[in-house]
Amino acid sequence: MVLNYIWIGFFIIGFLVALIKLIFFGDVDVFPAMLDSTFDMSRTGFEISLYLTGVMSLWLGFMKIGEKGGMLAILARLVAPFFTRLFPGIPKNHPAMGSIVMNFSANLIGLDNAATPLGLKAMKEMQELNKNKDTATNAQIMFLVLNTSGLTIVPLTIMIDRSLLEIPAANPTDVFIPLLIATFFSTITGLIVVSLYQKIRFDRVVLAYLGGATALIAGIIYIFLNLPPEQVGPVSKVFSSIIIFSLIISFFTLAIKKKLNLYSVFIEGAKEGFETSIKIIPYLVGILVAIGVFRASGTLDIIIEGMRFVFAATGMDTRFVDALPTALMKPLSGSGARGMNIEIMNTFGADSFIGRLSSIFRGATETTFYIIAVYFGSVNIRNSRYAITAGLLADLAGIIAAIFVGYLFFG
């Protein structure tokens, strides 16, 4: 129901703002721009779905090999003590646990294209346990919010974009550590908020795993801080590639030991990926068109200027406000946030405080509405309960943390 109200709100608020701009300010371009955005975003939604069809077919094919070969079960057992407490509604050794582990692993190393199909597979498997098919379960909400918190160890696309500008960043990887810190706070906040909703207790096991994760993040930060700046990007890319290909080969090795026909198993999983991607199209087109109307109406610009006025009235340094469009756009549209980030870096400079903070904002938040539309839409869930609230609170924590670390490192 919340997503329904938000979807309608994008259209109505956008229309009212555009009407005011037309009547009182004589802006005759705003309504044509809004109309054009409906066509542009509907095409974008279809193109994304079409692209996902191939990616999902590939990765769900690999996942099927991992599932039947037994690798997903092994991975699930490694984190079972932690995940069984976060996802008490999922039975022990259920296939969904392996898919959840793989999805989080892909997200951590910045492989968004691999993470999405793995996440959709996990959502589908959790839906099999759902007694009320149109309402999200606690497990599905926990999974989705942890996805929207955006924890990424290797933000490859952001570092690449910073290196490909007309005037590239002197050190495209200089946002790596601040971004990692900001996303960590975002993820912890999402986990705590959902745990409060679901009354999940943080016992010794949960605290031990969280402590271990914190130590791992700290170790990665230490390693990359001690690398020469020019090596951070290449090392990150090699690190990510080795991990994912090692997993694929491990899938193959266990499946061969079980004497499975790998190609047939792959095709079986690829067919599931194709079917799932077709279901996504209406949901994705719907949410992207609403976002496009909201943005084209100029509502987002008004919100930014209003925030600048409020922060200035409190005597705060308002430099960070110029980078906020990226932060506010990211929950609505990943491509929109990327475009906003690139535009800000071209305008203010990639190595400026605003350019760097914009990059941190882009990585510290996630495409909350996109993820909700795609993940819940793939299994026909219409009642998202408190998923949007928890996801946006995680995004807010990421934005606040990004501001603090931005000033700390670059202010």
Print pLDDT tens along the chain (411 aa): 566 787 898 899 999 999 999 999 999 999 999 999 999 888 877 877 777 788 778 877 887 888 788 876 777 677 778 888 899 889 877 888 888 887 877 666 555 556 777 788 889 999 999 999 999 999 999 999 988 776 666 676 687 778 878 788 888 878 878 888 888 889 899 999 999 999 998 899 999 988 988 887 788 778 777 878 677 667 766 776 777 688 789 889 999 999 999 999 999 888 877 877 787 788 778 877 887 888 899 888 888 889 889 988 988 888 999 899 889 888 877 767 877 788 788 888 999 999 999 999 988 877 888 788 889 988 999 898 999 999 999 999 999 999 988 888 887
Output the six-digit token pair for 74. Answer: 């092994």
Sequence-separated (6 or more) residues with CB below 8 Å from residue 57: 270, 271, 273, 274, 277
Which residues 6+ apart lie within 8 Å of 281 measured at CB? 45, 46, 49
Is-contact 7 293, C-beta < 8 A?
Answer: no
Taking the C-alpha atoms of residue 185 and residue 401, their distance in angstroms, rounded to an integer, is 7
Closest CA to 409 of 207, 258, 260, 225: 225
- Phi and psi torsions of 135, nearest 5°: -120, 135
DSSP 3-state assignment of 383?
A: strand
Distances (CA, A) of 230 to 140, 224, 226: 40, 11, 12
Q: Give the start-to-end residue ranges of the domains of the chain.
A: 2-410
Query: What pLDDT, on the 0 to 100 scale, is given for residue 3?
Result: 64
Distance CA 179, CA 405 (A): 8
Q: What is the pTM of this model?
A: 0.75
- State residue 237's pLDDT score: 66
**Residue 275: predicted pLDDT:** 79
pLDDT score for 280: 72
